[in-house]
């Protein structure tokens, strides 16, 4: 009897595996390594396709409350074959974006047992950044923001990862939205990958930050004309404690208010002495010493050719956008070549 039962169990497991194999055969090698869902998508070649179905009207109606609702999630490979089907919950996310966009950026929450059954780690969140609307202009600006994440990764290894995806959103079986967007690495995902701790509680000041990475971050924000960040309030900065570093590292994200991206809703804070987001400005509290300034100018100038070359190499933008990006960066490097003028603005005496 025991042998018969054992044989029946084997046959049941075999037929279950046959059912699951067509759906997950592409992903088995990756899943055996116990990767996360974000990692799996991030490592896919090209721009993966995702299909989600949910009640769009309800999502929009409840976007300010950020209440969850059911959604389906399907991931397809480059040939259009489904490699993953999951159920989950979806809700709006973001601050200004969900106010200015009809369809808000979203967070999708999966069931941990479902992920575990597929061999994934139990990191159950995916965060999506959407274009502001259906227009080509909004799609262009989303790609510019995505580019800034990749550009920062050229300067600092602590950068947050992003991945372009082609997304279709269905409502009652009918496709209502189709656009390119990106997923952005969740806090828990980032902490796991770097064996780090995200500092969420307490107040931090600039002097508590790792100086070299802080200087890079500040000058990068100045380069892209972004003032929408704060150390004290942890606004658009992940404050990260890496085991190998004595001080906290400020890692930037959310660049939609930068002049480089240039959204029509982006306005500088009314206390800043600038009229629009295209004017570069550095907070007095974040000014750097003369020695640090000289070191950072030397560093950024040494990376100019690399950054411009990277700018020209991206394949997800058209020639016009690439030219605009190159021009924006070139204006920054032109300023670096006038050290006295820029030093008066940036250096704390």
Are residues 223 and 297 both part of a single domain?
Answer: yes
E-strand stretches of the chain? 49-53, 69-76, 82-92, 106-110, 125-129, 162-171, 174-184, 197-198, 237-241, 249-252
Residue 270 has pLDDT above 50, yes or no: yes
pTM for this predicted structure: 0.89
Segment 87-98 shows an average pLDDT of 95
Same domain, 152 and 242: no
- Do 217 and 314 lie in a common domain? yes
**pLDDT over 60 at 20, yes or no:** no
Give domain status of residue 6, yes or no: no
Nearest to 280 by CA among 345, 211, 324: 345
- Cα separation of the two ends of the chain: 87
Q: Computed over its alpha carbons, how large is the radius of gyration of the chain?
A: 23
Least confident of 32-36, 158-162, 236-240: 32-36
Q: Are residues 35 and 181 in the same domain?
A: yes
Number of domains into which the chain is organized: 2
Tell me, yes or no, whether 301 and 174 share the same domain: no
In percent, the amount of the chain with pLDDT more than 90 equals: 79
What is d(CA 72, CA 114) in angstroms, rounded to the nearest whole number? 13
Average pLDDT, the chain: 89
Cβ atoms of 197 and 241 closer than 8 Å = yes
Q: Are residues 179 and 57 in the same domain?
A: yes
pLDDT tens column, 144-166: 999 999 999 999 999 999 999 99
Q: Sheet holding 197-198: strands in order across?
A: 197-198, 237-241, 249-252
Residue 318 belongs to some domain of the structure: yes
**Same-domain pairing of 243 and 341:** yes
**Does the residue 12 lie in any domain?**
no
Tell me what pLDDT residue 142 has.
98
Would the CA dihedral through 12, 13, 18, 23 be positive or negative? Answer: positive
- Does the residue 7 lie in any domain? no
Task: Examine the pLDDT at 93 and tell me if it is beyond 70.
Answer: yes
Please report whether residue 334 resides in a domain. yes
Q: Of 156, 172, 188, which residue sits at a domain end?
A: 188
Q: How far is CA 10 from the centre of its chain?
A: 44
Mean pLDDT of 160-174: 97
pLDDT of residue 17: 34
341 in a structural domain:
yes
Last residue of a domain, one of 188, 222, 250: 188
Residue in this structure with the two tokens 């389906």, named with its chain if needed: 72
Contacts of 86 (CB under 8 A, 6+ apart): 72, 73, 74, 110, 114, 115
- Please tell me whether residues 325 and 212 are part of one structural domain: yes
- For the stretch 22-33, pLDDT in tens is 333 233 444 445
Q: Which domain holds residue 264?
A: 195-346
- Report yes or no on 1 lying in a domain: no
Q: Rounded to the nearest 10 degrees, how much is the dihedral formed by the CA atoms of 204, 217, 261, 235? A: -10
CA trace torsion 325, 331, 332, 334 (10° rounding): 140
Looking at the structure, tell me whether residues 121 and 219 fall in a common domain.
no
Instruction: Answer yes or no: do 127 and 205 share one domain.
Output: no
């Amino acid at each position: 009897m025991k042998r018969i039962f054992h044989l029946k169990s084997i046959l049941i497991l075999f037929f279950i595996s046959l059912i699951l194999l067509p759906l997950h055969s592409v992903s088995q090698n990756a899943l055996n390594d116990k990767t996360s869902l974000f990692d799996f998508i991030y490592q896919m070649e090209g721009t993966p396709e995702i299909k989600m179905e949910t009640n769009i009207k309800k999502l929009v109606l409840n976007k300010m409350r950020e209440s969850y609702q059911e959604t389906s999630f399907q991931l397809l490979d480059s040939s259009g074959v489904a490699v993953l089907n999951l159920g989950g919950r979806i809700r709006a996310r973001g601050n200004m974006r969900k106010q200015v966009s009809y369809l808000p950026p979203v967070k999708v929450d999966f069931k941990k047992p479902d992920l575990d059954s597929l061999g994934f780690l139990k990191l159950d969140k995916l965060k999506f950044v959407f274009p502001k609307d259906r227009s080509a202009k909004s799609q262009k600006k989303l790609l510019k923001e995505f580019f800034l994440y990749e550009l920062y990764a050229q300067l600092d290894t602590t950068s947050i990862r992003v991945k372009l995806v082609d997304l279709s959103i269905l409502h009652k079986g009918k496709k209502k939205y189709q656009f390119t967007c990106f997923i952005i690495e969740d806090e828990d995902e980032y902490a796991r990958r770097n064996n780090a701790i995200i500092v969420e509680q307490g107040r931090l000041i600039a002097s508590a930050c790792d100086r070299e990475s802080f200087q890079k971050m500040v000058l990068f924000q100045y380069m892209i004309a972004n003032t929408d960040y704060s150390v004290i309030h942890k606004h658009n900065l992940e404050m990260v404690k890496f085991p190998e570093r004595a001080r906290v590292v400020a890692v930037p994200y959310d660049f939609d208010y930068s002049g480089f991206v240039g959204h029509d809703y982006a306005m500088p804070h009314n206390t800043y002495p600038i009229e629009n987001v295209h004017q570069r400005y550095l907070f007095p509290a974040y000014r750097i010493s003369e020695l640090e300034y000289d070191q950072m100018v030397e560093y950024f100038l040494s990376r100019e050719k690399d950054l411009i070359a990277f700018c020209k190499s991206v394949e997800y933008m058209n020639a016009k956008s690439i030219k605009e990006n190159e021009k924006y960066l070139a204006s920054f490097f032109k300023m670096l070549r006038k050290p006295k003028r820029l030093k008066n603005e940036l250096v704390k005496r």
